[in-house]
């Protein structure tokens, strides 16, 4: 009986999130449209919604999977310092690209440089951190802090050397934005995400077993190392694609996964990832609507998300410490 009540509660919350997503998405798409301006505004708003859904899936899958592999509720890929790595890559590109810097900041070259470098660095770090059997949560958090501080310091040092015009170009990349999405890059990102979905569609049952721990997974016949390495690579790709497409949103992952754990009672990753995606899309669309229509672009979407997510992350750390 208790399980039935929890299941009904999960369905009710999922229905509520769906309602909020449809409502805010509809308001964002159609509010202020007229016959005269619809041909101009509607396609651009549709691109933003598509980008939100794409980023929402990347964040939700990578965060849920990453927490399963690390076996804790505090870590997400973004907290490991990859947002700082992204900013360092953008800073170096602006500094050394010369006459072509403006074109590179919005074209394929910058996108693929960012994605490839972040995939290599993130996967290399994952291999180093998860090579042993024990994965100390505080060691991983400390590593993420050090990495973030390292690349943040390097970025600040290089930014001092930039002239004001170069810095103004770089400043647009410091905050996540859905305002200037390149449709061609969105299509490329969508293809990469669809490929990762096809590669991982059969992995969810294995992740259910991996969540029990390495020893239990091995005893139950799961090739633990193969599943973990494969999903770490997929996580690296998804984090890199979402960050290169719209910019860094550090605390979205921890916020989404924590809400998902609160409202879902199942251990099955198919349901968890679906709920995390719904939560992520709802938060992003709502934040985008507030940033554009309520705050009139005075507050970037990343500020709204990171403000709420940062407070909740501190709460989780304090709660973990007391436990």
Q: What is the CATH number of the domain that holds 155?
A: 1.10.3470.10
Considering only CA atoms, which of 88, 102, 111, 106 is closest in space to residue 166? 102
Residues in CB range of 161: below 8 A, 6 or more apart: 95
Count Cα neighbours of 59 within 13 Å in the Cβ-side half-sphere. 38
Report pLDDT digits (tens) over 153-212: 888 888 888 888 778 777 777 777 777 787 888 899 999 999 999 999 888 999 999 888
Inter-helix orientation angle 137-160/108-129, to 10°: 150
Domain count of the fold of the chain: 1
Report pLDDT digits (tens) over 268-319: 899 999 999 999 999 999 999 988 888 887 777 888 888 888 888 888 778 7
Residues in CB range of 138: below 8 A, 6 or more apart: none
Inter-helix orientation angle 252-263/301-322, to 10°: 60
pLDDT surpasses 90 at 61: yes
pLDDT surpasses 90 at 145: no
Vertex 127 angle, CA 206 and 150, to 5°:
130
pTM of the predicted model, to two decimals? Answer: 0.87
- Site of tokens 């239990």: 216
What integer pLDDT is reported at residue 34 of this predicted model? Answer: 86
Burial code (b: 16+ CB inside 10 Å, e: under 16) for 224-246 equals beebbbebbbbbbbbbbbbbbbb
Report pLDDT digits (tens) over 215-259: 888 898 888 888 888 888 888 888 888 888 888 888 888 889 989
Inter-CA distances, 6 with 2, 97, 265, Å: 6, 55, 7
For residue 23, the enclosing domain spans: 2-322
Question: Largest Cα–Cα distance of the chain, in whole Å?
Answer: 68
Report pLDDT digits (tens) over 37-49: 888 899 999 999 9
Retrieve residue 171's tokens: 């400043």
Between residues 147 and 189, the one the model is more confident about: 189
Please name the helix (run of DSSP H) or strand (run of DSSP E) that holds residue 1, with its range, or none. Answer: none
302, 247 in Cβ contact below 8 A?
yes
Considering only CA atoms, which of 84, 82, 105 is closest in space to residue 154? 84
């Amino acid at each position: 009986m208790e399980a039935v009540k929890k299941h009904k509660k999960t369905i009710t919350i999922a229905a509520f999130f769906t309602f909020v997503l449809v409502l805010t998405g509809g308001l964002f798409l159609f509010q202020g449209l007229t016959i005269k301006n619809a041909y101009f505004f509607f396609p651009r708003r549709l691109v933003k919604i598509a980008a939100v859904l794409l980023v929402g899936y990347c964040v939700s899958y990578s965060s849920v999977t990453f927490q399963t592999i690390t076996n804790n509720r505090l870590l997400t890929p973004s907290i490991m310092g990859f947002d700082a790595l992204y900013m360092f890559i953008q800073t170096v590109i602006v500094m050394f690209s010369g006459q072509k810097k403006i074109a590179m900041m919005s074209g394929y070259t910058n996108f693929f440089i960012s994605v490839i470098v972040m995939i290599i660095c993130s996967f290399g770090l994952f291999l180093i951190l998860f090579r042993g059997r024990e994965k100390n949560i505080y060691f991983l958090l400390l590593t993420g802090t050090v990495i973030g501080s390292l690349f943040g310091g390097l970025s600040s040092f290089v930014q001092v050397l930039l002239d004001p015009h170069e810095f103004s170009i770089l400043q647009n990349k410091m905050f996540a934005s859905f305002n200037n999405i390149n449709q061609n890059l969105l299509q490329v990102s969508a293809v990469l995400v669809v490929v990762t979905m096809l590669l991982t569609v059969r992995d969810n049952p294995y992740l259910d077993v991996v969540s029990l721990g390495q020893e239990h997974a091995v005893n139950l016949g799961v090739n633990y190392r193969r599943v973990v390495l494969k999903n770490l690579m997929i996580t690296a790709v998804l984090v890199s694609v979402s960050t290169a497409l719209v910019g860094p949103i550090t605390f979205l992952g921890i916020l989404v996964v924590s809400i998902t754990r609160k409202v879902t009672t199942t251990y099955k990753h198919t349901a968890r990832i679906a709920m995390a995606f719904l939560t992520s899309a709802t938060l992003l669309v709502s934040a985008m609507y507030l940033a554009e229509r309520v705050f009139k672009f005075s507050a970037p979407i990343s500020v709204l998300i990171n403000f709420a997510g940062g407070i909740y992350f501190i709460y989780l750390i304090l709660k973990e410490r007391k436990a």
